[in-house]
C-alpha cells in the first residue's frame, strides 16, 4: 500500500510538514561536541593538523577567543568540562577546544600526547569576578566549572557587587581555584599567552600576534572573521547573555575603594603574577556603584524577560500546531487501517467500476466504499494546501 494510491492527503501532509524539517536539519548538522555553529574545517592537503586547547579562568573571554580562532584557522569547536585520553582522541584533528582546568602533570602530558597547543587568556581578576556575578544570574550550570572544586556560585545569584555575599565569595577558595586556572598556565613555556584587554582593544593585532606562533591564518578573509565574531554579533546568537559588556576595567564602576581593597587583600598574589594593578576610582560612591549595577543589569534583565516571554509564546503556538498535525495523522492512520482489508481485488474492482459510476453508482453504495477513497481525493485536501 502506498500513500499515493490510498492517502494523497497524508502524503501531502508529510511532504509539507516533514520534508522541510529534514532539509533544515541536514543543512545545519554539527558534531555532537560542538557548542556553536560548525566551521568548515576543509584545509589544504599541505597544511598540518592544528589542535588548540584554550585553557583559562572562566569569564576571561574564552568563548569569544574560541570563536575567533576557529574561524581564523578553519577549525571545529569543542567545549568540555573534563577530558581524558578517549575524549581527546575522539576530537577532530583540526579543533579549538575550550576547557577550564588547573595545570597538573598528568593533564599537561595528556594534552601534549594528543598534539594540543595551549592558548591562555588573562583578564583582570576583578573584572573576571564581576563577570561571574553577572553570568551566574542567567546560567545555573557554573557548578560544572572545575567540577565544583572550592564551592559554587549558589550564594551570589542575584547578589550585588557591594554585597557581603559577593565580597566573601571573592575571598573564598572557590574564587581562588577559578582564578588560579589562568595563573597556573600563564608562565607555562609551551603556552601562547595573551590578554583580554588587548583582544578588546585591537582584535586584529592580537590575532596577528598569535599567528606569529601558530602560523598564518587559514581563513579567506580576516575582515569577515572579525565581523562574524564581533561581540555585538555573538550577543545576537546567545540566550544566556554570555557576551556581556566586552569592556576592560568595568570593575572600577562597580567596586568602590573599600570593597576592592578588601578583595585584593586575598587575591593580590594572583594579580601580581598576571601583571595587573588595582587602581579603584576614588570618586566612586557606594550609591553610584549600586546605581551602575542596577542600570547595567536591570535594563538587561527586563529585556531578557521580554525576549523569553516572546519565545515562550512562539513555542506554545508551535506546540499547538504540532498537536493539530498529530491529530490529523492519527485520523488518516485510522482511515487507512479501516480500508486496509479492501486491498487487492475489492479496491481494484471499485476503481474499475468507478469509471462507470454514472451507470453503476448503486454498486458503490452497496460496497460501502467512500467516494473519496476511490477517487483519491479528500474533502480537506484543499485546506491542507492553503
Cell numbers that stand for 182 in this block: 589562568
Averaged pLDDT for residues 206-228: 82
Helices (H), 229-285: 231-235, 257-274
CA distance 310 to 17: 23
Mean pLDDT check: name the lowest of 184-193, 251-260, 272-281: 184-193
Running DSSP on this structure, what letter comes out for residue 216? S
Helix axes 62-72, 203-214, angle to 10 degrees: 60
Q: Which residue has the higher pLDDT, 36 or 55?
A: 55
Answer whether residue 261 shows pLDDT above 80: yes
Report the number of secondary-structure helices (H) and strands (E) in the chain: 19, 5
Band of pLDDT at residue 6, cut at 50, 70 and 90: very low
Nearest Cα neighbor of 200 from 37, 39, 36, 60 is 60
Nearest Cα neighbor of 328 from 19, 17, 20, 25 is 17
Q: Which residues are CB-neighbours of 111 under 8 A, at least 6 positions away? A: 53, 88, 118
Domains belonging to the chain, first-starting first, are: 32-284 (3.40.50.300), 343-386 (no CATH)
pLDDT at 260: 95
CB atoms within 10 A of CB 353: 17
Mean predicted lDDT score pLDDT of the chain: 79
Answer whether residue 22 shows pLDDT above 50: no
Q: In what order do the strands lie in the sheet with 76-79?
A: 76-79, 95-99, 51-55, 116-122, 191-195
Q: Are 48 and 37 in contact (CB under 8 A)?
A: no
CA distance 197 to 319: 45
Cell numbers that stand for 367 in this block: 460496497
Exposure of 152 in the CB half-sphere (CA atoms within 13 A): 12
Answer whether residue 59 shows pLDDT above 60: yes
Residue with cell 613555556: 189
CA distance 314 to 332: 27
Band of pLDDT at residue 310, cut at 50, 70 and 90: confident
Amino acid at each position: 500500500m502506498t500513500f499515493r494510491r490510498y492517502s494523497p492527503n497524508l502524503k501531502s501532509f508529510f511532504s509539507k510538514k516533514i520534508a522541510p524539517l529534514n532539509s533544515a536539519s541536514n543543512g545545519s548538522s554539527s558534531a555532537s561536541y560542538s557548542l556553536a555553529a560548525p566551521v568548515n574545517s576543509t584545509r589544504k592537503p599541505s597544511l598540518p593538523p592544528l589542535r588548540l586547547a584554550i585553557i583559562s579562568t572562566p569569564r576571561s573571554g574564552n568563548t569569544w577567543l574560541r570563536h575567533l580562532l576557529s574561524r581564523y584557522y578553519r577549525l571545529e569547536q569543542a567545549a568540555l568540562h573534563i577530558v581524558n585520553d578517549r575524549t581527546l582522541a575522539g576530537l577532530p584533528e583540526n579543533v579549538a577546544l575550550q576547557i577550564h582546568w588547573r595545570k597538573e602533570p598528568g593533564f599537561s602530558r595528556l594534552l601534549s600526547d594528543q598534539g594540543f597547543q595551549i592558548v591562555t587568556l588573562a583578564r583582570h581578576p576583578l573584572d573576571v569576578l564581576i563577570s561571574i556575578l553577572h553570568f551566574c544570574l542567567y546560567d545555573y550550570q557554573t557548578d560544572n566549572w572545575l567540577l565544583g572544586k572550592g564551592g559554587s556560585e549558589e550564594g551570589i545569584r542575584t547578589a550585588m557587587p557591594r554585597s557581603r555575599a559577593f565580597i566573601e565569595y571573592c575571598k573564598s577558595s572557590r574564587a581562588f581555584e577559578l582564578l588560579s586556572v589562568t595563573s597556573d598556565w600563564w608562565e607555562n613555556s609551551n603556552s601562547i599567552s595573551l590578554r583580554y584587554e588587548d583582544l578588546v582593544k585591537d582584535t586584529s593585532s592580537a590575532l596577528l600576534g598569535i599567528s606569529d606562533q601558530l602560523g598564518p591564518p587559514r581563513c579567506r578573509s580576516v575582515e569577515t572573521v572579525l565581523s562574524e565574531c564581533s561581540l555585538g554579533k555573538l550577543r545576537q546568537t546567545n540566550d544566556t547573555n554570555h557576551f556581556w559588556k566586552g569592556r576592560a576595567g568595568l570593575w572600577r564602576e562597580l567596586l568602590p575603594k573599600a570593597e576592592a581593597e578588601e578583595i585584593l587583600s586575598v587575591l593580590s598574589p594572583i594579580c601580581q603574577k598576571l601583571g595587573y594593578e588595582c587602581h579603584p576610582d576614588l570618586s566612586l560612591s557606594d550609591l553610584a556603584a549600586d546605581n551602575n549595577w542596577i542600570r547595567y543589569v536591570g535594563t538587561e534583565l527586563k529585556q531578557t524577560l521580554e525576549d523569553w516571554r516572546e519565545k515562550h509564546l512562539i513555542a506554545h503556538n508551535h506546540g499547538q500546531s504540532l498537536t493539530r498535525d498529530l491529530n490529523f495523522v492519527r485520523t488518516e492512520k485510522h482511515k487507512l487501517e479501516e480500508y486496509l482489508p479492501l486491498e487487492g481485488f475489492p479496491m481494484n474492482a471499485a476503481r474499475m467500476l468507478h469509471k462507470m459510476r454514472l451507470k453503476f453508482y448503486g454498486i458503490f453504495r452497496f460496497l460501502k466504499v467512500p467516494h473519496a477513497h476511490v477517487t483519491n481525493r479528500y474533502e480537506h485536501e484543499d485546506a491542507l494546501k492553503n
